[in-house]
Structure 1
Amino acid sequence: MELLERLVTVFAENGYLAVFLALLLCGAGVPLPEDITLVAGGVIAGLGYANVHTMFGVGMAGVLVGDSGMFLLGHHFGARILKLRFVARVLTPERYAKVQHKFERYGNRLMFIARFLPGMRTAVFITAGSTHRVSFLRFFLLDGLAALISVPIWVYLGYFGADNHEWLAMWIHRGQHGLWLVGGIALVVALVLWWRHKRRVACESGSR
């Protein structure tokens, strides 16, 4: 909660721009938790320093711009991006190879699930861009759909818990585990749909 209190102070003094810039840093892989950043934005709205609905919009914009920036860096530089110092800190060659393998296995589903995997988002988005097999529009839609689940949860949680820190801390903890659960369920559903599609295609091929 100490980080949350510090962010609330900074955001209350500097407004929406500070929240937006902080979310860009989250997207770039800086060790600043995106969920706590969004909650802090909601808290200052709950304290009367901002409008909560505008804060939701700012949160969505910051998240999507930050994520898109990582995708486009990967798309433009490919594997060469590993030579960039700030990227190498969050995406080692070993981790890049591991994410590439997962991406080849799960494809688009991994881009959606990545939003619910702290510490994995930046690596997944850079790798998605570097494969050149995913259009920016498809990436943006998948990431946007996932953000429409996570962003409002954190922003409005901060808004409603602005005056009750104990309640807020409890629900932040529950929310973090809850989003992992949502991501896991979404992955299972996606795998089932993929398996049914492959089975249908195989049956159609066999009947010809």
Structure 2
Amino acid sequence: MNLLERLVGIFAEHGYLSVFIALLLCGAGVPLPEDITLVAGGIIAGLGYANVHVMVGVTMVGVLVGDATMFMLGHHFGGRILRLRLFAWLLPPARYAKVQQKFERYGNRLMFVARFLPGMRTAVFITAGATHRVSFWRFLLLDGLAALISVPLWVYLGYLGADNRAWLTKWIHRGQGGLWIVLGMVLVLVAWLWWRRRQRCDGE
């Protein structure tokens, strides 16, 4: 039995709370793929064990609470967090320094894009908190906007493919590329709206 099927079994038996806890573990850097966890939550809704719209709400909260916890730990402990064995394993000094460099270069954009980079999220969110350059509410806004793209996509994908696992497996593999396409469209729309607003302001 693969990971997806195991998660579906656990979630079907224990409901929303088990999905929420699993997403907290994802946020903490436990090697449990967030996208597979979200898809499993959608599948149990498709099988009738949960309401899909409620599942989207539960998973959004789980993702944001997990991410915010990592941010606040970084904010509170700063670089000292690397002295804790768990975080030293998740974020070795060399990797921490590399993420800091990327954060210095890309700033807020890195926090938004990190949601679409499996394996990078925890490191980026801890570093964002440790730098003390970003307020908690700005972090939550950027992470929340990114989660509004990724979370519903994975949950509804699981919901739609609950009874057709072959189709679902194919689209899970395509899903990350699809997320980048959606992200690109959102960025183009934001740039266009900014340009229109700039044109309007220049014309007044």
TM-score normalised by length of structure 1: 0.88
Contact 2:149 2:182 in 1 (8 A): no
Match of 2:18 in 1: 18
Runs of 4+ in 1 over 6 A off after TM superposition: 186-189
Using the TM superposition, give the Cα deviation of residue 78 of structure 1 relative to its aligned residue in structure 2, in angstroms: 0.1
Residues in 2 aligned to 1:60 and 1:16: alpha-carbon distance in whole angstroms: 12
Q: Does 1:113 align with 2:113?
A: yes
Using the TM superposition, give the Cα deviation of residue 103 of structure 1 relative to its aligned residue in structure 2, in angstroms: 0.2
Match of 2:65 in 1: 65
Instruction: Give the partner amino acid of 1:167.
Output: W
Which structure 1 residue ranges, 5 or more long, are not aligned? 197-208
Task: Assess, with a 3 A threshold, how the Cα gap between structure 1 residues 187 and 124 changes in structure 2: closer, same or farther.
Answer: farther
Residues in 2 aligned to 1:188 and 1:92: alpha-carbon distance in whole angstroms: 32
What do residues 31-58 of structure 1 show as CA deviations (whole Å, max 9, x unaligned)?
0000000000000000000000000001
Q: How does 1:16-165 map to 2 (within 5 A)?
A: 16-165=16-165
Contact 1:29 1:90 in 2 (8 A): yes
TM-score normalised by length of structure 2: 0.89
Aligned residues: 192
Match of 1:175 in 2: 175
Which structure 2 residue ranges, 5 or more long, are not aligned? 196-204
Using the TM superposition, give the Cα deviation of residue 2 of structure 1 relative to its aligned residue in structure 2, in angstroms: 1.2
Percent of aligned positions that are identical: 77
Using the TM superposition, give the Cα deviation of residue 141 of structure 1 relative to its aligned residue in structure 2, in angstroms: 0.2
Residues in 1 aligned to 2:110 and 2:185: alpha-carbon distance in whole angstroms: 10
Residues in 2 aligned to 1:6 and 1:123: alpha-carbon distance in whole angstroms: 27
Task: Assess, with a 3 A threshold, how the Cα gap between structure 1 residues 139 and 50 changes in structure 2: closer, same or farther.
Answer: same
Instruction: Give the partner amino acid of 1:45.
Output: A
